[in-house]
Structure 1
């Protein structure tokens, strides 16, 4: 068995995605990849995208494989985000997400390759965080999903991503229910995130939900350091007006205790 086949076996697992760009960087050129595909070592999914088959044919690439390929093979700055990140850290009220929805954090989805955007017709939900600057390694953790280690938002960042998606990818009521379970967020990390955020409406909703849920860590936040802007914000139509944060909230939510 050739050394390059040995390398392929040692650096991949059955069912995992294998990208030609990564193979080329590690000495396996396109012509050799084609030979591996013909001999059954690899199976082609789309131009430049392969996976390692296994004898039974039962193990096929899934969305964690696609996300891991972006980060480990292409070194792209993407991560498991928002509701999906919270769910895989055991912080969602819901036992199971819609399997068709996976939140992905990225500065711009335009940098993502076409094969990923169309992977298994997967409707990725993109979280941009465009008004949250200077993300660092401290904002992320590692979770294991279906045997794959993935970079993911820490609970504080994931909560922020959920709030930022209200009205787009998630309903206000769902976010409020989710916040009820976030009793152990770090006030220091929440403060750091909100200090870096220039998204006035997101900041206000985050603080509203934290106060509404009565979390102890909320009392340790310094709102004077957070950009809250001025004027009213209509977050939901036909909602109730919250005088503390100058936003409208769903009628079904009572005012938080003062």
Structure 2
């Protein structure tokens, strides 16, 4: 076995996704990669995207395998985000999984966050085993600072910290998740770091998300929210209608579901 093929086999176990960008950076040309395909060392999934075949040819790469390849074989800044990050960190176990609404929101959907206005590759966007939910939060410079390394199905990933993931689900209210679902999540987020929350909110430009985040923290009387200096958080001016036909909270000037009233 020559040195280049040996490098490929040692670096990527069967079931891994291998990108041409990595191959090129390690001296494996496109034509050489095609020879590896012909000899069964690789399978072609898409243009510039290969797969190390497994014993069972019916087994396709998992979403974690695909996401890990994008993270660590390209220069694209991407992370596991929002609801998916909370799930993988075991922070969504208290959800009412028997409810149809919650089950549907969890099934076959993977939340990811990107840095800025990056365009993700077509092969990644069209990966059909899951639906990618894109987090478009307005938080400056948080991709690396507020992410943590985790392992999913044996694949290394970067994921939002619990604090950033909580902010990401709040930012998605009305688009990818309901207020009630986010509130149910927040009820269990008792151990968030006040320092990390402070950093995220202070760098956030999303006025409505900032207000809802603080509102839910106070609603559930979490200790961490009492240590947040709200004077440095951009809460903007004017009213925000988070949901229609709800209760207006005067402190944060947001309309929330009628059940969410301070007693």
Per the shorter chain, which TM-score range? over 0.9
- TM-score, normalised via structure 2 length: 0.92
Calculate the aligned-residue CA RMSD, in Å.
1.6
1:213 paired residue number: 220
Contact conserved, 1:132 with 1:196, CA < 8 A, in 2?
yes
Q: Secondary structure at the match of 2:234?
A: coil
Question: Which runs of no fewer than 5 residues in structure 1 stay unpaired?
Answer: none
State the shift of 1:70 in Å.
0.9
Structure 1 residue 55 displacement after superposition: 2.3
Q: Deviations over 1:65-121 (max 9, x none)?
A: 111111110131000000000110010134676341000101356521000000125
Per-residue deviation, 1:256: 2.7
What residue in structure 2 maps to residue 107 of structure 1? 115
Please point out which of 173, 189, 193 is paired with 1:186.
193
Mapped partners of 1:116, 1:122: distance in 2: 11
Q: TM-score w.r.t. structure 1 length?
A: 0.94
Aligned residues: 255
Counting only pairs closer than 5 Å after superposition, residues 135-214 of structure 1 correspond to structure 2 as 135=142, 137-214=144-221
1:1-258 correspondence runs (5 A): 1-57=1-57, 59-92=59-92, 93-94=94-95, 98-108=106-116, 110-120=118-128, 122-129=130-137, 131-135=138-142, 137-253=144-260, 255-257=261-263
Structure-1 separation of matches of 2:184 and 2:159: 21
Encode CA deviations 1:128-166: one digit per residue, 9 max, x unaligned: 22x211226331101111111100000000000010000
Deviates more, 1:27-36 or 1:58-67: 58-67
**In the alignment, is the contact (CA less than 8 A) between 2:162 and 2:192 conserved in 1?**
yes
For structure 2, list consecutive stretches of 5 or more residues without a partner in the other structure.
98-102
SS of equivalent residue, structure 1 residue 57: coil
SS at match of 1:138: coil
Give the secondary structure class of the aligned counterpart of 1:14: coil
- Note the C-alpha offset of 1:123: 1.6
Question: Which deviates more, 215-224 or 175-184?
Answer: 215-224
Q: Secondary structure at the match of 2:128?
A: helix
Shift of residue 230, structure 1, vs aligned partner: 1.4
Secondary structure (helix, strand or coil) at the match of 2:248 reads strand
User: Aligned partners of 1:237, 1:120: CA distance in 2, in Å?
Assistant: 34
Deviates more, 1:95-104 or 1:5-14: 95-104
Whole-angstrom CA distance in 2 between matches of 1:234 and 1:113: 35
Distance of 1:13 and 1:27 partners within structure 2: 19
Instruction: After superposing the two structures, state which structure 1 stretch, 26-35 or 49-58, moved more.
Output: 49-58
Deviations 1:179-232 (A, max 9, x none): 001000001110111111121111000000100111011111111111111111
Please say which of residues 150-159 and 17-26 is displaced more in the overlay: 17-26
Structure 1 runs (4+) greater than 4 angstroms displaced: none
